[in-house]
Each structure stands twice: as structure tokens, then as C-alpha cells.
Structure 1
Amino acid sequence: MTLARKLLAAALGATFLASFHADAGEAEIRKNLAARIPQFAKIDEISKSPMPGVFEVRINGAEIFYTDADGNYLLQGNLIDVKARKNLTEARVEKLSQVAFDKLPLNDAFKIVRGNGKRKLAVFEDPNCGYCKHFERDLTNVDNVTVYLFLYPVLGPDSGVKSRDIWCSKDRAKSWTDWMTSEVKPQTAASGCDTAAIQRNVEFGRKYNITGTPTLIFSDGTRTPGAIPAAQVEKQLTAAAN
């Protein structure tokens, strides 16, 4: 065997061993954490963190923890790169939470079209959210936009009831707007109405770390939490279009 072939064989062997140890380490972490903490029975991903000897453990879509190679210790909090002055955990969660607009489950939303509707905006909202009501009143000042409204009842059982009634109404957009801007309650939904889309919205929000309402997603993937004013919505719609 030539020297080049020996070196190649050694390199491949080292790669295989490293991969083997990584897989074994991940299996050990999964086994130990699942056995000791039921919350970790289902782990989305385990990967090496930038800190030597520390592994990132991700559950519930974008919930980050850190552990040692054996899964004996667990940390929850922010990992800071002090040299770069960067919050690595925050940056990681932000990346995991990104949603491409064309990947949104738009069939589980209903449309509110204003003007020519050329610009696009997706919003996750709870019908009992005071900030959402303020946002909706202000949003009536934004024209030439199609809003994809995702009902996202996270503030209690009554939010689920109102979301069901709005989703099951003949004119969802009108029922939603009447309630959010004028406090006109939607009619009680008929029995047998399929509300699976609402539950899928909640599951989608949990997966992508949508923790508050309203949450806005623009056509360029930009995500903005909170009841921002119409002027800022206009600014971001223009930026997204460009």
C-alpha cells in the first residue's frame, strides 16, 4: 500500500470512529435524559454546542437545553460568546423559529383582502387578545394587502370557543373583523363543524415558537411580534415587496 493510500485509510478510519463516538454519545444522552425526565422522552435533536464538552438538546421545536456527554447534567439558559459578544442561544432559537412564507399552511387560515391585495401578510391572533384588537383597528388603515389570518387561541377556553365560532361562520373575515373592531360576537357554531385547522395552528405555533399574539410574518419571512402601528406595517410590507 502506498503512503497516500495509507494516509487516506487512516483519515477514513478516524472519520468513522468520530462518527461512531458521536452516535454513541447521542444515544447515551437520549437514554439517560428520557429515563430521568419524562419531558425529554421525545428529543427533536442533539448536537454539539460551540462550548467543548457541552451538547445542545432541542425539544418542542425550538426549546433549547444544554447537557454533558452522558446526559447527567442539564442547563437551561443563554449560552453567550463573550469574545464575539453574541447570545448564541437567542440566535439559535431565532433561526429555528424562522418560517418561509411559502411554507405557511395557508389552507388553515382565512383571507382578508383590502384594495388590490397584492402585498401579503400572515398574522397569528387570539380573539380575546386586547393587543390584537388594537392592532386590528389600526390595520384597517393599511390598504392593498391580503392578510392571512391564523386563529391562534392560547389565552384560555373562551378563546377556543370564539375561534370555533368565527371559523365556522359563513363569512369568516366579516365575523372576525366585526368582533375585533366592534365587539360584535360571532354566532354560535353549528355542531359538526370541522375545527381541526385551529388545532393545527396551535401545534404549528408551538413548533415555531410563536409565544405571543399578534405575531406577524411578512412575505420575505420577516417575523415581528406585537401590535405594531400601521406605519410600521406599511414600512415592512414595502421592504418585503422589494
Structure 2
Amino acid sequence: MTKLTIFAAAAAFSLAAGAAFAQTSQEAAIKKAIEPRLGNGVKIDSVTKTPYGGLYEVRVGGDILYTDAKAEYLFVGRIIDTKTMQDQTKARLDEINKIKFADLPFDSALKMVKGNGKRVIAVFEDPNCGYCKRFRQTLNEMDNVTVYTFMYNILSEDSSIKSRNIWCSTDRVKAWDDWMLKGKEAAAAPANCTAPNDKIFELGQRLKITGTPTIFFTDGTRIPGAVDMKTLESKLASIKQ
């Protein structure tokens, strides 16, 4: 390698390092400027320059905001690629909110198997959630699916009591369906029965689950809300089980 080649390589490395440092400094400056304005002790997890429109992505938990290089404005909404009509924001949210499905504590979930059970999902539901009850109707009409239900008590004071009563029932899955589909409450749990309520609540908080139902798929992605049969079937068909 000639001296000229070595000099050129060194110069190129120096420029690249300088650009990376400048970008890091810019992102740090944006975080410093915006974080105090968000209030209520909200913390920014990361600031990243995007490839579109000179915008910077500001990630707060499982949410994304956008700002300009001077951090003068905040943009709340979706970035759509007009050539492909792809929702870039949704794709990014799916990426940052992915989980490792196999790491879920399935021994703390209710397990329902229908048909061959080859298609697998996990659902976080509150026993007092009306949307969860509607989604349970959808699941009741499906076949060839395994559903792990994590009772995630976030809506009412008695959600934990109902979940414990169901967990301590002889047939947990039947007790859950009786309540969610028919409104039939489970019998009071024995005093010596312990339910994984606290464990599931802590798990839901770590996974940044803010509403029920929240559905997780084996590819690690999630869908919040009571999706209809068509949407659920389409999502399952897109995943290699």
C-alpha cells in the first residue's frame, strides 16, 4: 500500500468518524432540548436521524414522535412513503416493540387449544374489558389455534379478584370462557390459592402494554385492540408457524 493510499484511507476514516460524532452530538442536543418539554418525568429512549425529510425520530417507550434538526417542532403522526404507500412509522413501531415470543411465561397463562392448535398467539386481557369479551367471541369462532391468555389486571379494582378466582378454578379455561362469553362468575378462590397476578402485571408493564386486549404473534409482533376475524386470519397467514 502506498503512502498516498494510506493517507487517503486515514482521511476517509477521519471524515467518517467526524460525521458520526457530529450526528451523535446532534441527537444528544435534540434529546436535551425536547425531553424537559414533554413533562411528567417522561424520558426519551433514543433520538435517531431518519432517511426521510431531514426528520429525527424521537422514541419514548413504545411510541414515536418526530422533530426537526433544531428541535423546534414536534410532529405526531405517520410517515407514509408515497411511492410504495408503506407506513414507515408502523414498520418502525413493529420493529421496536417486538418481543421474543418464546420467552413469555406460558406456565402463567391460560392455554386453550382448538383443532390442531398449530397457529399460536398470546393475548393480554383484563376480565373487565369489554373489547376483550368481543375479541373472545372472535377466538371462539376460530379453529386450529392455540391461545395463551395472560390475565392482565389494569382496568378495575376487582379485576385481580376475578382473575384469581378464575386461575384457582378446577378448569381455568372453562371458567374464563364462562365469564368472558356468558357473564358467569367463577367461585371464590380458596384462601391458600395463589395466582400470578403480580407477575403478569409486571410483565405487561415491561412490555409496555397500555391497553387490552393486546395480541402477540410468534414473530414477536403485536396488535393492540379487538381485531376482527379477517384481520386476525390475515396476520396469522403471513407468519410462518
- Bin of the TM-score, shorter chain as denominator length: 0.7 to 0.9
Q: Does 1:81 align with 2:51?
A: no
Give the equivalent residue in structure 2 for 1:28. Answer: 29
Counterpart secondary structure, 1:80: coil
**Cα separation, 1, equivalents of 2:206 and 2:187:** 27
**Cα separation, 1, equivalents of 2:41 and 2:30:** 10
Q: Where do 5+ consecutive residues of structure 2 fail to align? A: none
Structure 2 counterpart of 1:93, one-letter code: L
Identity %: 41
- Using a 3 Å threshold, how does the CA distance of structure 1 residues 73 and 162 change in structure 2: closer, same or farther? same
Query: 1:90: Cα distance to partner?
Result: 2.7
Contact 1:123 1:217 in 2 (8 A): yes
- Using a 3 Å threshold, how does the CA distance of structure 1 residues 167 and 29 change in structure 2: closer, same or farther? farther
Q: Where do 5+ consecutive residues of structure 1 fail to align? A: none
Q: What is the root-mean-square deviation in Å for CA atoms of aligned residues?
A: 3.4
Counterpart secondary structure, 2:181: helix
Query: 1:234: Cα distance to partner?
Result: 6.7
Query: 1:9: Cα distance to partner?
Result: 0.7
- Using a 3 Å threshold, how does the CA distance of structure 1 residues 73 and 124 change in structure 2: closer, same or farther? same
Query: 1:79: Cα distance to partner?
Result: 2.5
Give the equivalent residue in structure 2 for 1:57. Answer: 58
**Cα separation, 2, equivalents of 1:24 and 1:232:** 43
Give the equivalent residue in structure 2 for 1:124. Answer: 124
- Using a 3 Å threshold, how does the CA distance of structure 1 residues 205 and 15 change in structure 2: closer, same or farther? same
Query: 1:54: Cα distance to partner?
Result: 2.2
Query: 1:93: Cα distance to partner?
Result: 1.9
Give the equivalent residue in structure 1 for 2:94. Answer: 94
Matches of residues 1-242 of structure 1 in structure 2 within 5 Å?
Answer: 2-39=3-40, 41-61=42-62, 63-114=63-114, 117-169=117-169, 171-189=171-189, 190=191, 193=194, 194-206=196-208, 211-213=211-213, 215-221=214-220, 223=222, 225-229=225-229, 240=239
Query: 1:10: Cα distance to partner?
Result: 0.6
Q: Which range moves more in the overlay, 118-127 or 131-140? A: 131-140
Counterpart secondary structure, 2:52: coil
**Cα separation, 2, equivalents of 1:160 and 1:27:** 42
- Using a 3 Å threshold, how does the CA distance of structure 1 residues 178 and 36 change in structure 2: closer, same or farther? same
- Using a 3 Å threshold, how does the CA distance of structure 1 residues 86 and 37 change in structure 2: closer, same or farther? same
**Cα separation, 2, equivalents of 1:239 and 1:30:** 37
**Cα separation, 2, equivalents of 1:196 and 1:235:** 33
Query: 1:212: Cα distance to partner?
Result: 4.4
- Cα deviations across residues 107-160 of structure 1 (Å, max 9, x unaligned)? 442322345645423222222233433443453454554321112334443434
Structure 2 counterpart of 1:111, one-letter code: K
**Cα separation, 2, equivalents of 1:131 and 1:94:** 22
**Cα separation, 2, equivalents of 1:52 and 1:118:** 43
Query: 1:49: Cα distance to partner?
Result: 1.5
- Using a 3 Å threshold, how does the CA distance of structure 1 residues 31 and 218 change in structure 2: closer, same or farther? closer
